[in-house]
Amino acid sequence: MPAPTAITTPAALASTWILTLTSREILLEDTSTVTCWKRVLKQHVGERNFHAFYQLLRGCKDQELQGLYLERNPAVYNFTRQGAGLNVGVHNGLDSDERSHQAVTEAMRVIGFSPEEVASVHRILAAILHLGNIEFMEREEDGPQKGSLAVAEEALVDHVAELTATPRDLVLRSLLARTVASGGRELIEKGHTVAEASYARDACAKAVYQRLFEWVVDRINGIMEARGRDPRRDGKDTVIGVLDIYGFEVFPVNSFEQFCINYCNEKLQQLFIRRILKQEQEEYEREGITWQTVEYFNNATIVELVERPHRGILAVLDEACSTAGPITDRIFLQTLDTHHRHHPHYSSRQLCPTDKTMEFGRDFRIKHYAGDVTYSVEGFIDKNRDSLFQDFKRLFYNSSDPTLRAMWPDGQQDITEVTKRPLTAGTLFKNSMVALVENLASKEPFYVRCIKPNEDKVAGRLDEDHCRHQVAYLGLLENVRVRRAGFASRQPYSRFLLRYKMTCEYTWPNHLLGSDKAAVSALLEQHRLQGDVAFGHSKLFIRSPRTLVTLEQSRARLIPIIVLLLQKAWRGTLARWRCRRLRAIYTIMRWFRRHKVRAYLAELQRRFQAARQPPLYGRDIEWPLPPAVLQPFQDTCHMLFCRWRARQLVKNIPPSDMAQIKAKVAAMGALQGLRQDWGCQRAWAQDYLSSGTDNPTASGLFAQQLKTLREKDGFGAVLFSSHVRKVNRFRKCRDRALLLTDRHLYKLEPGRQYRVMRAVPLDAVTGVSVTSGRDQLVVLHARGHDDLVVCLHRSQPPLDNRIGELVGVLAAHCQREGRNLEVRVSDCISLSQRGAQRLVSVESRPEQPEPDFCCSRGNFTLLWPNC
């Protein structure tokens, strides 16, 4: 297993990054040794301080902020005031900082930081913010302390002392004075001026953040370090290092920070060019290609200008820092002009008076490999010293916070011990660069160059000038020049053939030559390009891009033709596949349908084997579910079966009963199932007034009246007769008799020997209305006559259901005559009497002895006994 990637302390990097891995995102933090810690104090325009400060202020809970003596608004603190309003782009306001704080805290927990360590990190960050707000003033009151230094707001000192777990008086003493040891090891306390105290405060803030960062890096590397790794067993190439370099920095005013960063890039560019040349030479030798000397810009002279002992810029700067007396930046620049007056890559206004882009006594210019950069020497000496007083180191070493104490091991040195002068920032940087280059030279490097499309961090926008600037200052052009000085492009023969074989008839679609090398040679000869290439053992080396352009153009012309050919072949293949699938599908469907038809017919034959047996003739046989294709066939068979079965049943019926059967069929069709009980289960006598059972006392009188009417009107048959209860338009109810012949509809008066009271031609009867219940209400509608409202009664047995019989015989007669009879089934029947519209309904009453009508508001109600 490869060892996990280690995060290296950026002591040798001009600008690098720490990667904080979380489950949601990757947070990047700039950590340049020389330039980065300056950001704690002051930021460039459009930038803000380290994200950790804003995440702490905006992400912590209110209770935790109170414990750190912090307010949520970053504008309250000097170190974060500039970036308090930057809520655009990557920062994206308060919500983003709050989420990032939660993500970083969770990442620290996952990677192995204890809750106490996380809390200690928060306390140290809060102490830095409080340090930035400490201001100094001179005492003005009379007395022995007049003119001495004091802190404007001593509550901030209390906060710093509590958060760093150090005594308050020692914190105050370290801010206002410093202790030095004389030659006789006597301790002397020297008070600060306002400027010196401010410098000491800022140096302390930078140092605390630097030590905190390095502690976090060491902690992560310690957790991620591979345990029990044996190089003999696991091999040497099992560690991956990531070095992220920012690149050249060129601002309107470039100071000591930009000088160090650009020196770093010069140093690494020198290494990169040498590595590229070495890799090129090794590959040429490996492939059997003659190596040619490549001319390139050697920036060794620039590196020597910076780091040469005794005379280099860094050496001169260290000498200026160590010299006693008033050495200023201007004197330092004059010394540089004296030492490098004739250097081809160095110039200043004093050496070149006509160059008005530089100012006298302030600017000098170095011609870097990526371009000219003008530096201002203002602050060079102070920034190079950048020393932290020993008082602060001892203060934090004696802290009761174990995390903070571990960051300051050099604080255990006694103040009376004689020590060497501490190395300057420039010397430390140079030594780290030398160690870094030696480390990189022993590794196998791989390079990734990143180009920022714009400065606004907006997607979909490309700033060409900005990109050109980065290409120049990242050294990409120089790398390309080195590669193009020899054979700029190289490809394995197999890959070259795979891309360009369609441009030659000898290689398309597959060559039959002895090797890929021979096939490539034939392809290049056909294009007459063999003079611009060299053949290695496994690769083809191409000198100029024109060769690749020629091949790409030829390939681009052929690709559409090949694509059409492939599309045609593939579409034909797909069509043939689809045709074969469809044929198979249709064959399966045909045989399956045949199987379903055979199975259906066999099942049909099995079920209807006993259909001829009387008396049911297959009435209870359940038809099988047919296939969809045989549904019309089954419908036809079902209709034929029903007609056959009806024929079997009808042919056994006596001829005398056929009229009754036809009447019942007509009644069933007319009522359409809307009336459930209509008397189909009994025999229909039709002429009940002539029956001795229904009319025992007056059947003879009715027979005489019937004979008289037959002689008078000449009707052929009596269709129906019965006693009824009628109601007229005058709301009077009377007992009457109803006689229906094939010619007329008669209303008779039983009390007067069945005298005819009303006769209506039968062809004038247009419809019949009945209800859906068991009552015997019937309304006969006649054209040109009042509707007749009657209730059949005085039947034997009592309340016998004869409505269906009346409807059936009348409907059957109308069918024989070829005219329609409208039969309506409704529980509220509409009728017309002398032009007046009325309604008649049925009401069931258990106490009602006999059916009768009652009138209410012009409408009729049949009171029906509820038996």
Is 807's pLDDT higher than 50?
A: yes
Sign for the pseudo-dihedral over CA of 593, 598, 599, 603: positive
Closest CA to 32 of 256, 239, 324: 256
Above pLDDT 70, what percent of the chain? 87
Q: What is the DSSP letter of 754?
A: S
Is 137's pLDDT higher than 80?
A: yes
Is 31's pLDDT higher than 70?
A: no
Cis geometry, peptide bond prior to residue 654 (ω within 30 degrees of 0): no
- Each as own residue / partner, the long-range contacts of residues 181-188 (CB below 8 Å, 24 or more positions apart, any chain) are 181/415, 181/416, 181/418, 185/416, 187/415, 187/416
Residue range 294-301: average pLDDT? Answer: 74
Instruction: Report the length, in residues, of the chain.
Output: 867
Per-residue confidence at 120, pLDDT binned at 50, 70, 90?
very high
pLDDT of residue 721: 94
Sign for the pseudo-dihedral over CA of 393, 398, 401, 407: positive
User: Which secondary-structure segment (H or E) carries 534?
Assistant: strand 533-535
Q: What is the DSSP letter of 687?
A: B
Of the candidate ranges 26-40, 290-304, 611-625, 770-784, the one whose mean pLDDT is the lowest: 26-40
Residue range 207-227: average pLDDT? Answer: 85
pLDDT higher at 692 or 27: 692
Per-residue confidence at 21, pLDDT binned at 50, 70, 90?
very low
Identify the three-state secondary structure at position 450.
coil
Residue range 19-28: average pLDDT? Answer: 29
pLDDT of residue 7: 35
- 380, two tokens: 């060079």
Tokens 């200690």 found at: 120
Radius of gyration in angstroms for the set of CA atoms belonging to the chain, rounded to a whole number: 58
Contact by Cβ (8 Å): 408, 207: no
539-542 and 533-535 strand pairing: antiparallel
Closest CA to 475 of 246, 243, 247, 274: 247
pLDDT higher at 414 or 160: 160
pLDDT of residue 581: 96
Buried b (16+ CB within 10 A) or exposed e, 750-784: beeebebeebbebeebbbbbbbeebbbbbbbbbee
Is 401's pLDDT higher than 70?
A: yes
- 410, two tokens: 């050099």
Identify the three-state secondary structure at position 3.
coil
pLDDT of residue 514: 81
Buried b (16+ CB within 10 A) or exposed e, 517-547: bebbbbbbeeeebbebbbbbeebbbbbeeeb
With a CB cutoff of 8 Å and minimum separation 6, the contacts of 819 are 763
Contact by Cβ (8 Å): 851, 776: yes
Q: What is the pLDDT of residues 572-623, one digit of tens each?
A: 999 999 999 999 999 999 999 999 999 999 999 999 998 888 888 888 899 9
Closest CA to 628 of 591, 593, 677, 672: 593
pLDDT of residue 147: 57
Is 10's pLDDT higher than 80?
A: no
For residue 744, the cross-strand partners are 761
pLDDT of residue 49: 87
Of the candidate ranges 29-43, 233-247, 380-394, the one whose mean pLDDT is the lowest: 29-43
Q: Find the Cα–Cα–Cα–Cα dihedral 367, 371, 377, 378, rounded to 10°.
A: 170
Q: How far apart are CA 632 and CA 616, in angstroms?
A: 25
Q: What is the pLDDT of residues 317-336, one digit of tens each?
A: 888 887 766 778 888 888 89
Of the candidate ranges 20-24, 401-405, 641-645, the one whose mean pLDDT is the lowest: 20-24
Contact by Cβ (8 Å): 299, 270: yes
765-770 and 822-825 strand pairing: parallel
For residue 854, the cross-strand partners are 861
Residue range 679-704: average pLDDT? Answer: 89
Contact by Cβ (8 Å): 107, 23: yes
Q: How far apart are CA 773 and CA 769, in angstroms?
A: 12
pLDDT of residue 825: 94
Q: How far apart are CA 265 and CA 242, in angstroms?
A: 16
Q: How far apart are CA 554 and CA 402, in angstroms?
A: 71
- 499, two tokens: 């891309």
pLDDT higher at 298 or 618: 618
pLDDT of residue 239: 64
pLDDT of residue 237: 56
pLDDT higher at 240 or 817: 817
Q: How far apart are CA 827 and CA 861, in angstroms?
A: 11
Q: What is the DSSP letter of 855?
A: E
Sign for the pseudo-dihedral over CA of 207, 212, 217, 221: positive
Instruction: Check residue 818 and give left, alpha or beta (phi > 0: left; psi -120 to 50: alpha).
Output: left
Q: Could you write out the three-class secondary structure of 198-253?
A: HHHHHHHHHHHHHHHHHHHHHHHHHHHCCCCCCHHHHCCCCCCECCCCCCCCCCCC
Residue range 166-170: average pLDDT? Answer: 91
pLDDT of residue 476: 73
Q: Is 628 exposed, middle or buried (0-12, 13-18, 19+ CB in 10 A)?
A: exposed
Instruction: Check residue 350 and give left, alpha or beta (phi > 0: left; psi -120 to 50: alpha).
Output: alpha
Q: What is the pLDDT of residues 333-356, one digit of tens each?
A: 888 988 898 899 999 988 898 888
pLDDT of residue 293: 67
Buried b (16+ CB within 10 A) or exposed e, 671-703: beeebeebbbeeebbbbbbbbeebbeebbeebe
Cα–Cα distance list, 331 to 177, 256, 338 (Å) = 29, 16, 11
For residue 375, the cross-strand partners are 254, 364
Is 528's pLDDT higher than 60?
A: yes
Per-residue confidence at 387, pLDDT binned at 50, 70, 90?
low
Closest CA to 124 of 31, 32, 205: 205
Mean pLDDT of all residues belonging to the chain: 83
Angle between helices 168-176 and 390-397 (to 10 degrees): 170
Which of 44-48, 325-329, 498-502 is most confident?
A: 498-502
Contact by Cβ (8 Å): 748, 724: no
pLDDT of residue 631: 92
Cα–Cα distance list, 667 to 541, 805, 825 (Å) = 105, 7, 12
Contact by Cβ (8 Å): 659, 667: no
Q: How far apart are CA 450 and CA 471, in angstroms?
A: 9
Q: How far apart are CA 55 and CA 509, in angstroms?
A: 62
Q: How far apart are CA 725 and CA 747, in angstroms?
A: 11
pLDDT higher at 181 or 63: 63
Q: What is the pLDDT of residues 815-848, one digit of tens each?
A: 999 999 999 999 999 999 888 899 999 999 888 8
Closest CA to 159 of 136, 126, 135, 137: 126
pLDDT of residue 381: 83
Identify the three-state secondary structure at position 424.
coil
Q: How far apart are CA 380 and CA 561, in angstroms?
A: 67
Is 185's pLDDT higher than 70?
A: no
Q: How far apart are CA 395 and CA 131, in angstroms?
A: 15
